[in-house]
Amino acid sequence: MMSDTPIIIDALQYNNWSESIFQQMHEGGVSAVHVTICYHEDFREMVENVIAWNRHFERHSDLIFQGRCAEDVRRAHEEHRTAIFFGFQNCSPIEDDIGLVEVCYQLGVRFMQLSYNNQSLLATGCYETCDPGITRMGKQVIREMNRVGLVVDMSHSAQRSTLEAIELSERPIAITHANPHVWHPALRNKSEDVLRELAESGGMLGVSMYPHHLKNGSACTLESFCIMLARTAEVMGVERIGFGSDLCQNQPDSVVEWMRNGTWTNERDYGEGSESAAGFPDQPEWFRDNRDFVNICAGLRQVGFTQNEVKRMAGLNWLEFFEHSFRKKQT
């Protein structure tokens, strides 16, 4: 029997993982989280991150387990645990080797961004000045990701590359963590063109609670955030929206510096921050951690969403997307 509490799915987190965070997921009734296991790592370095997660799964099996398919979300919900789905924010772990796409899938990876801020071997990042679109290798890799059941994620990619990925991918893609550019004009946020094409193709947007993606940053109000969702639902439809908090809990500022700079630059890049505000920004008071999805659900009711619409955005939309996305295509 499935319990009557809503299924909550968060499509992006990158926390400094610990038992207390897993406990917060449990307290917040979060049934599934897509966690980032790579920003700049190569394949072998990524495998070490899988090993670190295997240890979490072993030590905290009362709270979490590795998710591989939609059914695992339902199981997590019934068992009051959290299914952890792996994803990459960059394509660095597949190096220049298309065969690694399936190997990563076999290790449980279910999302991969084709680029992270910069140009990659596959696509252009949102901070490049010119976006020539999906590369030759990118087209091959999208086809391979479609075949094995690894979701294309364009959260940090530039516009032309994103539109081309939506067009080229036979299976709907995701923007796991971003907000509409019209609400807050961060480079990472997405134009209405992108959101419309994404929705029409059956793709999903995970709305972000990361302060650099929010209107007025850390001071953003819950009401403003929820009205943004109402406007976005008018563009995309309620069915195409979910959560993608981009929660980076308990991370030291050295981590955001590494996320932005990896090993690619000798100068310091501040990404969405600035020299005077280089570290992680403070979370808005209505979303501090995994226990606060309940606040957002209440806020969404306040701005006029029905309980069923809230349930869809809180988890059922992502669950449906998982159902159609993660199975290997039958040849």
CB of 86 to its own copies, least distance (A): 11
CB of 57 to its own copies, least distance (A): 9
Q: Is 102 in the site for its own copies (CB under 8 A)?
A: yes
Take residue 298 and report the two structure tokens written for it: 């209440």
CB-based contact 169:134 (threshold 8 Å): no
Segment near its own copies (CB under 8 A); pick from 15-23, 72-80, 105-113, 199-207: 105-113
Does the footprint of its own copies cover residue 217 (CB under 8 A)?
no
- The two tokens of residue 111 are 């999302």
Q: Which helix (H) or strand (E) holds 299?
A: helix 293-302
Q: Note whether 313 and 139 are within 8 A (CB).
A: no
- Number of residues this chain uses to bind its own copies (CB under 8 A): 20
CA 258 – CA 251 distance, rounded (Å): 11
Q: Does residue 48 bind its own copies (CB under 8 A)? A: yes
Q: Which part of the chain contacts its own copies (CB under 8 A), choosing from 11-19, 44-52, 181-189, 252-260?
A: 44-52
- 78, 79, 97, 253: residue in contact with its own copies (rule CB under 8 A): 97
Residue span binding its own copies (CB under 8 A) among the ranges 13-21, 45-53, 213-221, 263-271: 45-53
Query: Is residue 136 involved in binding its own copies (CB under 8 A)?
Result: no
Name which of residues 108 to 127 contact its own copies (CB under 8 A): 108
| Residue 331 binds to its own copies (criterion: CB under 8 A) | yes
Q: Is there binding between residue 99 and its own copies (CB under 8 A)?
A: yes
- β pairing state of 82-88 and 64-66: parallel
Q: Considering only 101-109, 113-121, 189-197, 219-227, which stretch makes contact with its own copies by CB under 8 A? A: 101-109
d(CA 144, CA 295): 39
Q: Does 173 bind its own copies (CB under 8 A)?
A: no
CA-closest candidate to residue 64, choices 104, 3, 94, 108: 108
Write down the least CB distance from residue 172 to its own copies, Å: 23
Residue 38 sits in the site that holds its own copies (CB under 8 A): no
Q: Which residue has the tokens 């919900």?
A: 77
Considering only CA atoms, give the Rg of the chain: 18
By beta-carbon proximity to its own copies, the closer residue of 4 and 58 is 58
The phi, psi pair for 52, rounded to 5°, reads: -60, -40
The answer to whether residue 47 forms part of the interface with its own copies (CB under 8 A) is yes
- Exposure string over 262-274, b if 16+ CB within 10 A, otherwise e: beeeeeeeebbbe
The torsion angles phi and psi of 210, rounded to 5 degrees, stand at -80, 125
The residues of the shown chain that bind its own copies, judged by CB under 8 A, are: 43-44, 47-48, 50-52, 54-55, 58, 61, 97, 99-100, 102-103, 106-108, 331
